[in-house]
Chains A and B, each alone.
Chain A
C-alpha cells in the first residue's frame, strides 16, 4: 500500500463549480500535512498546510481527520487558473522528508 493515496482523477469541471479532493495516508505517525499544487512541467508549490481544526484560505478549505487518516481539499468557485495537479503531502515531523501522493489532476473548463 502506498503511503499517500489520492483520487486518481482527472476532474473536469466547469468554471464556478465546487470540487473536492480526497487523500488517505497510511503512516499513523504522520504529523504534518500539506496540499501542493503542480503545474505542467513545473515544480510543486505549497498551496496550504492542513491543520486538525481545518483551515481555509480564500476559496480553498482543507480538512484533516486523524482518526481516519484522511485529508481533503475543497475548492469553491473554480477558476480556469485552478487547473493543475494537486498533490497531497505528509511528513512525520519537521525534520523528515515529505512524502508525496501521485496527485489529482484538475481541469477547469470555460
Chain B
C-alpha cells in the first residue's frame, strides 16, 4: 500500500516552545491530508482537514492559531504546535488520501511537553 511518513517520530520539548511535525506521502500525491490526535486510551480525534493550496478546516474546539497547518504541496503537510504546554502532550497522527480512495496513516509523532 501507499506510504506516509512523519517526522519526527518523537519529540520532547520545554513548555512554551513551538514544535513542527511533517507529514509526507512518499509514493503518491495526496489531495487531502488529515491530522489526528490521540490521548492515552482514547480514540483518534480529528483535528483538521487539509487540502493542498487551501486553508485547513479545523474541527470544533481545535484552536487554529495554536495548531498551524500548512499544506504547500501534494506530498507535504506540516502541523506546528505553537507555544506548546504539557496538556498538548499526545500522539499526533497524519493521514493522506487521493480523492475518495483509502486513507493511509503515518506512523505518528509522540510529543511530550515538559
| Interface residues on chain A, size class | 10 to 19
B69 at the interface (CB under 8 A from A): no
Interface of A, secondary structure class, is loop
A100 at the interface (CB under 8 A from B): yes
The answer on a CB contact under 8 Å between B105 and A43 is yes
The answer on a CB contact under 8 Å between A43 and B43 is no
Q: Which of the listed residues A42, A45, A94, A97 has the most CB atoms from chain B within 10 Å of its own CB?
A: A97
Residues of B near any A CB (own CB < 8 A) = 32, 34, 36, 41-46, 49, 91, 93, 95, 99-103, 105-108, 110
Residues of A near any B CB (own CB < 8 A) = 4, 41-46, 87, 93-95, 97-103
Question: What are 12 A-to-B residue pairs whose CB atoms are below 8 Å?
Answer: A41-B108, A41-B110, A43-B107, A43-B108, A46-B102, A94-B100, A95-B32, A95-B100, A98-B95, A99-B46, A102-B41, A103-B43
